[in-house]
Amino acid sequence: MSAPQWNNKVVKWVDDRLPVISMLHHSAYEYPTPKNLSYMWNFGSLAGFVLVTMILSGIFLVMNYTPHTSMAFESVERIMRDVNYGWLIRYIHMNGASMFFIVVFIHIFRGLYYGSYKAPREMLWWIGILILLAMMATAFMGYVLPWGQMSFWGATVITNLFSAFPIIGDPLVTWLWGGFSVDNPTLNRFFSLHYLMPFVILGLVVLHVWALHSVRSNNPTGVEIKTPKDSIPFHPYYTIKDLYGLGVFLIFFSAFVFFAPDYLGHPDNYIPANPLVTPPHIVPEWYFLPFYAILRSIDFTIFGIPAKLLGVLAMFASIVILFVIPWLDTSKVRSSKFRPVYKWFFWLFVIDTFILGYCGAKAPDDYFLGIPGLKVIVMGQLSTLYYFVHFLVVMPLVGKLERTKPLPASISESVLKEGANA
């Protein structure tokens, strides 16, 4: 990578001393990108956009928010009613959280489908999982800040998860709370961390992009770039494609912000927190529902480990397991496009996560989709089982046994072939 020669004197002066412009030029301009990326590759840059939007809207919300149990709810309502465009900024932030998860979940599913976690992209994948974990922590703590009923009881339930650990559990929870229940100290520390975490995420994103740019983007064929003919410079080809995708996404986002701002939220969070009354039906935000379903599915004891601890472990394991899939997947082929058997299991897994989400939203004793005799808890247990079976059994076995389709010799060959078929 030879440093480009800058004609502008100021640019050259700066770049000779701190080659930041060259760096940006390499990574956002000439970065050689596979020429066959589909629209599924738009979601990475979209996630970056949403992160920036969240930080920006968050900073402006903080200018009017008061992190105190006696004023948090009121200050949020003041933002909604009195602050100029406060309602807009808050609805952007509120729905932006959901958008962030939609975009990131699609991004992760894309990675799973096209085998983007496989060597040499393990570090890239790991950093991605860390980003997901950081996002979950941030979203959870952010949801507590308006200090509504769901904020309060969500905080109570989730922090109580840690009491499942033997011996250290109870002191740990007291430490998390800074008291003997979720109260003002808890709200204050969540506020502090909620402000900190986005910048941690931002740092992780820089690492994520760095890792990406050193191993190069995967692509729908899963075949690496071999000759210069396989790639095109990032700019203008992918900058414009990303911008077009951003336009489509913004329409989707705006539809929620302006026309259904509370659709993804829960009415109980417009009731101020009341430590004496638990709402009859506590559900987390939709993006936590699959994990919540896994937590709740474990209502039995194994080897004397209590259900409560098992549930917590299963929930954490459902994410931690993602760290080891580069080794659980034994297939030599990356892209599911060329894996006729695994492809079906992939879609089964996607459906499985949807079922988990549905189960997480329902009371355990409800009937699944109203089917008599099929309790939500049972369906949740089956789906939890498949969730882990998929990674621990299907991935290693199918990878070994499956007869994959022949791979194209190169990206440009596959492009030409598809072009001829079209």
Partner 1 sequence: MSQTVHSSGEHQPDENRRDFLTLATTAVGAVGVGCALLPFVDSMNPSKDVLALASVEVNLANIPVGQAIKVMWRGKPVFIRHRTEREINEAEEVALNELVDPQTDDARVEKKEWLIVVGVCTHLGCIPMGTATGETRGDYDGWYCPCHGSHYDTSGRIRRGPAPLNLVVPEYEFLTDTSVRIG
Partner 2 sequence: MRKFALTAIAAAFAVTAFTGGAAKAAGGDQPAPAAQDWSWQGLFGTYDRAQLQRGFQVFKNVCAGCHSLRFIAFRNLEGIGFNEDQIKAIAAEYDIVDGPNDDGDMFDRPGIPADYFPSPFPNEKAAAASNGGAIPPDLSLMNKARVGGPDYVFGLLTGYEEEAPEGFDLADGKYYNHYFPGHQISMAPPLYDEAVEYTDGTPMTLEQHARDIAAFLNWTAQPELEARKALGMKVILFLIVLTAMLYAVKRKIWRDVEH
**Using an 8 Å Cβ cutoff, are 230 and 415 in contact?**
no
Contact window for partner 1 (CB under 8 A) among 60-68, 114-122, 209-217, 413-421: 60-68
Which residue among 57, 116, 217, 318 is the active-site one?
217
Residue 153 CA: distances (Å) to CA of 14, 75, 144: 53, 20, 9
Among 126, 229, 278, 404, binds partner 1 (CB under 8 A): 229
The structure tokens listed for 361 are 């939203």
For residue 28, the minimal CB distance to partner 2 (Å) is: 16
Runs of H (alpha helix) within 334-422:
342-361, 376-389, 395-401, 411-421
- Answer whether 187's CB lies under 8 Å from 68's CB: yes
Q: Do 231 and 35 touch, CB atoms closer than 8 A?
A: yes
The helix or strand, by DSSP H or E, that contains position 200, with its residue range, turns out to be: helix 184-215
Show the beta-strand stretches assigned E in 219-299: 231-233
The secondary element (H helix, E strand) that includes residue 149 is: helix 149-160
Nearest CB to partner 2, comparing residues 344 and 354? 354
Q: Rule CB under 8 A: say whether 419 interacts with partner 1.
A: no
Task: Identify which range of 26-34, 100-108, 309-317, 376-384 contacts partner 1 by CB under 8 A.
Answer: 26-34
| Interface size with partner 1, residues (CB under 8 A) | 26
Dig out the tokens for 146 from the structure: 């308006």
- Please say if 25 is a catalytic residue: no
Which stretch, 9-17, 86-94, 120-128, 306-314, contacts partner 1 (CB under 8 A)?
86-94
Return phi, psi of residue 402, to 5°.
-70, 145
Q: According to the binding rule CB under 8 A, does residue 32 interact with partner 1?
A: yes
Residues 377 and 394: their CA atoms lie apart, in Å, by 24
Task: Measure the CA–CA gap between 349 and 387, rounded to whole angstroms.
Answer: 7
**Span 337-356, contacts to partner 2 by CB under 8 A:** 350, 354
242 is catalytic: yes
| 241 catalytic residue (yes or no) | yes
- Exactly one of 43, 60, 73, 391 binds partner 1 (CB under 8 A); that residue is 60
127 vs 289 by CB, closer to partner 2: 289
Question: Smallest gap, in angstroms, from Cβ of residue 307 to partner 1?
Answer: 47
Residue 29 interacts, among partner 2, partner 1, none and using kind-specific CB cut-offs from 5 to 8 Å, with partner 1
Verify binding: residue 64, partner 1, rule CB under 8 A. Answer: yes
SS3 77: helix
Residue 7 near partner 1 by CB under 8 A: no
Which listed residue (28, 29, 32, 35) binds partner 2 by CB under 8 A?
35
When binding is defined by CB under 8 A, the residue of 11, 20, 63, 401 that contacts partner 1 is 63
Distance of alpha carbon 127 from alpha carbon 148, whole angstroms: 33
Tell me which stretch binds partner 1 (CB under 8 A): 5-13, 40-48, 149-157, 231-239.
Answer: 231-239
Q: Are 309 and 166 in contact (CB under 8 A)?
A: yes
77 assigned to active site? no
Q: Nearest CA to 393 among 325, 319, 332, 294? A: 325
Three-state SS at 251: helix
Locate all alpha helices (DSSP H) within 18-144, ordered by sequence. Answer: 20-24, 43-62, 72-81, 86-113, 122-144
Nearer to partner 2, 206 or 255 (CB): 255
In single-letter form, the type of residue at position 353 comes to T
Which of the residues are catalytic?
213, 217, 241-242, 285
Binding residues for partner 2 (CB under 8 A): 35-36, 38-40, 74, 77, 80-81, 87-88, 91, 98, 102, 105-106, 109-110, 113, 220, 232, 236-237, 240-241, 243-244, 247-248, 250-251, 254-255, 257-259, 261-264, 266-268, 270-271, 280-281, 283, 286, 289, 350, 354, 357-358, 360-363, 412, 415-416, 419
